Amino acid sequence: MESKHWRKVDDLFQAALDCETDRRRAFLDVACAGDAVLRADVESLLASYEQAGKFTAAPALADGLRVLEQAGSEFASDSMLGRHIGPYRIVRAIGSGGMGTVYLAIRADEAFQKQVAIKVVKRGPDTGLIIRRFYSERQMLASLDHPNITRLLDGGTTEDGLPYFIMEHVEGQPIDQYCDAAQLDLKDRLRLFRTVCSAVECAHRSLIIHRDIKPGNVLVTAAGVPKLLDFGIAKLLNPPAEAAARDVTAPAVRLMTPEYASPEQVRGENVTTVSDVYSLGVLLYQLLTGTRPYRLAGNAPAEIERSICDQAPERPSVTAGRVLGRRLRGDLDNIVLMALRKEPQRRYGSVEQFSEDIRRHLDGQPVAARPDTTGYRAAKFIQRNKAWVATAVVFFFTLTGGIAITLWQTHVVRGERDRARLEQAKAARINAFLQEMVGYSGVAGGSPNQKSHDATVADMLDDAAQRVETELADQPEVKAEMLGTIGSTYMTQAKYDLARRYLHEAHTLDLQLYGQDAWQTAGVMHSLGDISYLAGDYAAADSWFLRALPIFRRHANDADFEIRTLLATLSDAAFVKRALGRLDEAEALWREVLTYAPRLPDKYRSQGMAPKTFLAQLYVDRGDIGKADALASEASQELREFGGDRFSLAQSLIDLGNIRRLERRYGEADLLIQEGTDLYAQAQGGDHPNVAFGLTTLAMSRYDQGRYALAEQDARRALKIVEKLPKGHYYAGARLALGLIVNKTGRSHEAEPLLREALAIRREKSPRQSNYVAIALGGLGECLFTQKRYADAEPFLLESYQILTNLHVPQSPVLKEARERLLLLYAAWGKPSQLVR
């Protein structure tokens, strides 16, 4: 610190400086008064002072700015040069952006020199968060294996605590520059773009959203191979909305490149796979026209948001100029603008659909994309018909989530089957009919009013159904397919009567055309089984599957998709058995699925593995937690390794979490459930019912741990999501969880109506002899017990216990709890126990 000497030197130095130069010596003679050391000190400072100007005349500020502007512009960057990260030595910066700098590095300790790219993230308030997220996701990112995706090799933190990611190094040009340099024609550009799409599709199957697709992230090698960079990195760097909301100090800057960001990204809303569809749309626009769809008005966030969210993009054919424009007009205009729709739900439902539409254009087939002006309802319908069948089924009807998976897979499989089975001409006729139908704008009495679009879609479906009758009368094969499609679409709209009617018509026609043992006939029978199941008519569902299954089994020797159809049917049939309470038969069907699994190619392996999750559920139904855990662990591990389909993985994680909860391994339970829920949210949006399912499970885990405040938050969030839906299982589950929590925290009168409603729904939707009903009964019984209404509580607790006794294995923790509850009741009530001890 400031010593006495220092202060004295300072004072003398200042005073001497204030003297006229020629009087300094005299001043020091007096002031230092024989202290030679002091005098020498002050004099040397005075001498240095005269020289100091040489150095300080040029403020370092200007140097700093020059370094910032020219030298790769990262203060971290230059300090990294020459350093070692793991076995790699940093050679030079090869790029920099908002999030950090990318370096070229080589592996120095080997005979051959391996080059990698290392992205070092710059320091920020959320540095720690990035590192934590990276460790939680690294396995999934590292599992991304696709020839057009650069691999993430490793990651960690530098000695300064900055996060870094080590990636495969790609020598290449940004795709837009490559296309121009290689003078690719329109068709080649489209083909190259489809390759990029295939890489994005692969990542989406593993639930990884890119979030920052732009030319700079799509490099094309000299051999013409496109490579996507930075998959999953954007997510690591952008906290999920929820985390950002908690941390108000996080910078408001979102790190994506605004020119390619979707409206939902700019607004900071949920980012899903469809956001990548949008960014790909901007990229395609640029590849086709040489410019981006709109100019940003300025740099201010509000201006960027306005440009992206409000400004309608010009049609590519108009932007491209007259010559090229002629070739873009029509299909390509429609395709690009469909990907660029502002509302995510009006875009292509997946990258696959986007890419497929380009393929159709390349092959001279009619495309699905329609102009937006007449196309609102049309697009809506197409999406319901195609995307809906694939995804919306998941939305509405889920018993456990499991049925949703198989339904979803079934429809995907069916789409492929259609393509493969129908010869080209027939497919084209169906396509043309569909397009004509959905392009039909003269819906009687209906104005194209967005608010009533659901009614309009229903009108259009009805209209389509009528036209099938009249216009396809002479093309029975096409008519049968269309009737089946219409029936399935009604099914997704919960119009069970209509769905059943058209499926029956399709079935009748199938019988005439193909006979009762044909593959085509079995397909519709499967749909009839599904519709009966969804409508709660389990007996009818069972009989449909009983008839369809032998046919599918016979065909299962042929090709992949036929095996996969069989597996989907077996699995759905198992759900029906389970709903009927015939758990052994359900188990046998799922076991059969597992025997086929090894015959599936890797790409579809997850479908063969999903039954492990369902079987695990079945063991949970029986309270056989040990067996359930073994299967569920296996299932989720395999799904992770194979990068399997996302719904299955999310579901299996939540299921495993629930099992760990029952085993009282709460730490693991919470992590698993959270991860599964995040996956669902990422893929389907934060307000999807599957997210509610995850939150409800999380709430139950926290309830078991006695963390009631947290539990209540989760349950209320779940309830908020499901309240908008028809009152089904998710709704009942969320009410039940909240009821239990509220009851435990001294509000049992508030809890009672919640629990009664949950029980009523479960009684209606599930067989009497089921876990679901038993648990709801137990919940209500406990609530009445808390209110000391022992006589009222007794019948509920007894019934719950009796069901569980029939259903569960003796060592079941759920059974044990029900028994204890009952014993407690009798002890409190002072009534002799009704239980056989």
Partner 1 sequence: MGATGQLTHLLEDWSRGDQAAFDQLFPLVYDELRKMARHHMGHERPGHTLQTTALVHEAYLRLVHSDPEGIDTRAHFFAVAAQVMRRVLIDYARGVQRVKRGHGAQKVALEDAALLADDRLEGLVAVDEALTRLATLDPRKSRVFEMRFFGGMSMEQAAGVLKVSPITIMRDWRMAKAWLAREIGVR
Cβ at position 213, least distance to partner 1 in Å: 24
Long-range Cβ pairs for the range 498-507 (8 Å, 24+): 499/531, 500/528, 500/531, 500/532, 500/535, 502/465, 503/527, 503/528, 503/531, 504/528, 506/480, 506/481
CB of 73 to partner 1, least distance (A): 6
- Are 163 and 157 within 8 A, CB to CB? yes
Distance CA 562, CA 21 (A): 101
Residues forming beta bridges with residue 102, ordered by sequence position: 95, 119
DSSP 8-class letter at 412: H
Q: Which is nearer to partner 1, 2 or 159 (CB)?
A: 2
Supply the minimum distance, in Å, between the C-beta of residue 637 and partner 1: 39
∠ Cα 665 666 668 (to 5°): 75
Residue 387: how many CB atoms within 10 A of its CB?
18
Shortest separation between residue 732's beta carbon and partner 1, angstroms: 41
| Element spanning 49, H or E | helix 36-56
Instruction: Write down the least CB distance from residue 6 to partner 1, Å.
Output: 6
3-state secondary structure of 101: strand
Alpha-carbon distance of 605 to 51, in angstroms, equals 77
What residues pair up with 767 in beta bridges, in sequence order? none
Q: Token pair of 394, please?
A: 């998941």
Helix and strand totals (H; E) in the chain: 39, 9
Shortest CB 57 distance to partner 1, Å: 9
Tokens of 241: 């909305």
Distance in Å, CB of 54 to partner 1, minimum: 6
Nearest distance in Å: CB 794, partner 1: 58
Least distance CB 259 / partner 1 (angstroms): 17
Task: Write out the residues near partner 1 by the rule CB under 8 A.
Answer: 1-3, 6, 10, 13-14, 17, 44-49, 51-56, 58-73, 75-83, 89, 91-93, 108, 122-125, 249, 251-253, 300-301
Whichever of 252 and 473 has its CB closer to partner 1, that residue is: 252
**At 590, which helix (H) or strand (E)?**
helix 583-596
Least distance CB 81 / partner 1 (angstroms): 4
The token pair at 541 is 């569902």
Nearer Cβ to partner 1 (10/35): 10
Q: Which is nearer to partner 1, 121 or 367 (CB)?
A: 121
Nearer to partner 1, 57 or 223 (CB): 57
The nearest distance, CB 602 to partner 1, in angstroms, is 41
Q: Using alpha carbons, select from 206, 226, 210, 297 the residue that is nearest to residue 262.
A: 210
Q: CB of 95: closest distance to partner 1 in angstroms?
A: 14
Instruction: Kindly tell me which of 123 and 819 has the beta carbon lying closer to partner 1.
Output: 123
Q: Say if residues 313 and 293 touch (Cβ distance below 8 Å).
A: yes
> How many other C-beta atoms can be found within 10 angstroms of the C-beta atom of residue 363?
8
DSSP element (H, E) containing 85: strand 84-85
Nearer to partner 1, 133 or 661 (CB): 133
- CB atoms under 10 Å from CB of 602, counted, come to 9
Instruction: Give the integer Cα–Cα distance in Å for 767 and 621.
Output: 12
| Cα separation, 739 vs 783, whole angstroms | 8
Closer Cβ to partner 1, 58 or 444, answer by number: 58
Nearer of residues 254 and 717 to partner 1, judged by Cβ: 254
Report the residue number, 63 or 310, with the smaller CB distance to partner 1.
63
- Which runs of E-coded beta strand occur in 158-267? 163-168, 173-174, 218-220, 226-228
First to last CA, the chain: 80
Closest approach of Cβ 557 to partner 1, in Å?
A: 60
Toward partner 1, which CB reaches closer, 12 or 213? 12
Nearer to partner 1, 92 or 191 (CB): 92
Q: Which is nearer to partner 1, 11 or 185 (CB)?
A: 11
Q: Are 230 and 217 in contact (CB under 8 A)?
A: yes
In sequence order, what are the residues at sequence separation of 6 or more whose Cβ sits closer than 8 angstroms to the Cβ of residue 506? 480, 481, 483, 484, 487, 524
Q: Which is nearer to partner 1, 253 or 432 (CB)?
A: 253
Question: Smallest gap, in angstroms, from Cβ of residue 23 to partner 1?
Answer: 18
Q: How far apart are CA 699 and CA 447, in angstroms?
A: 45
CB of 42 to partner 1, least distance (A): 10
**CA-CA distances (angstroms) from residue 165 to 1, 21, 92, 117, 237?**
43, 61, 16, 8, 11
How are strands ordered across the β-sheet holding 173-174? 173-174, 218-220, 226-228
Which H or E run contains 89? strand 88-97
Least distance between partner 1 and beta carbon 22 (Å)? 19
Query: Smallest gap, in angstroms, from Cβ of residue 490 to partner 1?
Result: 48
Q: Which residue number, 81 or 540, has a Cβ lying nearer to partner 1?
A: 81
What Å distances lie between residue 2 and 9, 17, 42, 658, CA to CA? 11, 21, 16, 64
Pick between residue 48 and residue 557 the one whose CB is nearest to partner 1: 48
Shorter beta-carbon distance to partner 1: residue 52 or 222: 52
Query: Per-residue DSSP letters for 543-566?
Result: HHHHHHHHHHHHHTTS-HHHHHHH
CB of 82 to partner 1, least distance (A): 4
Distance (Å, whole) CA 755 – CA 818: 16
CA distances from residue 811 to 418, 663, 806 in whole angstroms, order as listed: 48, 12, 13
Q: Which residue lies nearer to partner 1 by CB, 60 or 309?
A: 60
